[in-house]
Homo-oligomer: A and B are copies of this chain.
């Protein structure tokens, strides 16, 4: 309510584009791209299966898969069914698999805020059979709750904004 803004001065002086969130969104921020990756991580790997399961237009899927392949998140592999010509299926690369925590965090949020009375649409289980969740943990071993405060500090790859410190009122 007060007249004083609480923006972290360090954050405000940082170049908004030199940001790992922005850089990742540049690849996967488009919703279909994330959902294609979700299905690939769940083992849906063939073009016609993806069209069928996602209900996505074929030309849109072609473009989204090309984006994912160009970004190094997905690779193609040839397969051949008896009596038919060779075709490709799409598999997540190790880099693509590294996005699993992003999808699990999106899922946890949706489970909590958009699931409705029936509960979560799906449960992700570890190989041991127990459900998997994402947790915020600090290097000292504290498990954070949503109300715990965090601070964003410049990292080694930060860029100071051109003109930072000048214009903000």
Contact = CB atoms under 8 A, between A and B. Distances in A.
Interface of A: 1-3, 5-8, 11-12, 14, 16-26, 29-31, 34-35, 38-39, 42-46, 48-49, 52-55, 77-82, 89, 94-95, 97-116, 118-140, 142, 144, 146-159, 161, 167-169
A135 B100 CA distance: 11
In the complex, the count of this chain's copies comes to 2
Given A49-B168, A123-B153, 9 more contacts: A1-B78, A20-B106, A24-B109, A29-B34, A98-B109, A101-B105, A127-B150, A130-B140, A130-B142
Given A3-B79, A152-B122, A110 B23 contact: yes
A99 B104 CA distance: 12
A101 to B, nearest CB: 4
B150 A24 contact: no
Contacts of A101: 105, 108-109, 134-136
